[in-house]
Amino acid sequence: MANETLEQSSPTAGHGETVSGTAHAHPSDGKYVQIALILAVITAAEVVTFYVEDRLGSALVPILLAMMVVKFAMVAAYFMHLRFDSNLFTRMFVSGLLLAIGVYIVALLTFQFFE
Amino acid sequence: MTTTAPDATAATEVAAHPTGGHDAGDHEAGHHATTTGLSNEKLAMWLFLGSECLLFGGLISTFLLYRNREIPEGQGPEVAELYDIPFTSVSSFVLLMSSLTMVLALASIQRGDHRRCRTWLVTTALLGSTFVAGQVYEFTAFVREGLGYTTNIQSSAFYTMTGFHGVHVTVGIFILLSLVVMSLRGKLPTERAETVEIAGLYWHFVDVVWIVIFTIVYLIR
């Protein structure tokens, strides 16, 4: 009954409640387009760094990595709905991600990649 | 042998079905009550994507290690010498926009708009195909420049990494087209919107991997 009421009262706000009780009002189509535009702008900024990399010097790599992380997080949070879904999904994905990052940083360090 | 206390089971059932039975949300989710209260299928996909992080992490790390090695004389050019950043940027943009169309497809089917859902799914598949075509073009251009799969260790790592990604995109395209066919046959009702959501998770992950590859492999040299 509570689920039906919520769905009736907010037909446009999102996609309603799930039976599990994890309330997640998903973004509207307009919001998704906004997110995509932001991602496009960041991608354009990344490409611009290719043409000005001499001027950026040692700041190039941190800037590119920061933009990469932001894009990654935005796609995961909004398009993959991690922001709106159960924390268990986030924990599961982030665990695998952190494990991969940790293991391969160790591998790269072993082969003196950063020297 | 594990036993579940009847009260715990009942509590889970009540938590999963507060109305005392299957309600609209449950039908929309298209699955029965679970221990976590979440969809097992979705959980499985997230677990799979977590493991895929390890796969692509390995491929990217291997390429990074071999990229630093000097190429002996006569073993072809270095991969970075052949990059066409403007072209790859456009490819990246195309794949990024396919993530948008994918999420719009999900939003459509959740609203019950099946026609629009099919339109967005087809658009996503087309954008994905465009990306794969771009990759094929890039590979053939590299081969023409003398960089084949076995030319040097760097090229092997590069083609393996981007090839695996391309195969993932191709598999995703088949999944999307399957969803379109299912929808046309009336086998993808609104109650099964989660099927589109799970396919979307795979597609977005493929996009996210390219975000990492584009930055680390192409832009950071």
Minimum CA–CA partner of A40 in chain B = B93
**Per-residue confidence (pLDDT) for residue B179, from 0 to 100:** 97
Checking if the pLDDT of B141 tops 70, the result is: yes
**Interval B83-102 mean pLDDT:** 95
pLDDT of res. A24: 53
Which of B215, B220, B221 should we substitute to test contact with A (largest number of A Cβ atoms within 10 Å)? Answer: B215
pLDDT confidence tier of residue A16, bands split at 50, 70 and 90: very low
What six digits make up the tokens of A51?
A: 């043409």
Position B31 scores a pLDDT of: 54
Q: How confident is the model at residue B73 (pLDDT cuts 50, 70, 90)?
A: confident
pLDDT of residue A25: 67
| pTM for the structure as a whole | 0.83
Which secondary-structure segment (H or E) carries B133? helix B114-144
The rounded distance, in Å, linking the Cα atoms of B141 and B71 is 20
| Cβ of residue A108 closer than 8 Å to a chain B Cβ | yes
Whether residue A26 and residue B49 make contact (CB cut-off 8 A), yes or no, is no
Backbone angles phi, psi at A17, to 5 degrees: -90, 155
Cβ proximity of B17 and B34 under 8 Å: no
B157-162 average pLDDT score: 96
pLDDT, mean over chain A: 81
**Does A22 sit within 8 Å of B212, measured CB to CB?**
no
pLDDT higher than 60, residue A10: no
| pLDDT tens figures, A55-86 | 888 899 999 999 999 999 999 999 999 999 99
The mean-pLDDT minimum among A48-62, B12-26, B97-111, B192-206 falls in B12-26
Cα A97 to Cα A89, B69, B161, B171, distances in angstroms: 12, 27, 18, 22
Model confidence at B76, in pLDDT bands (50, 70, 90)?
confident
Q: What is the structure's pLDDT at B114? A: 96
Q: What is the mean pLDDT of residues B137-151?
A: 94
Q: What is the pLDDT of residue A113?
A: 87
**DSSP H helices in chain B:** 6-16, 24-29, 40-67, 85-111, 114-144, 153-184, 193-213
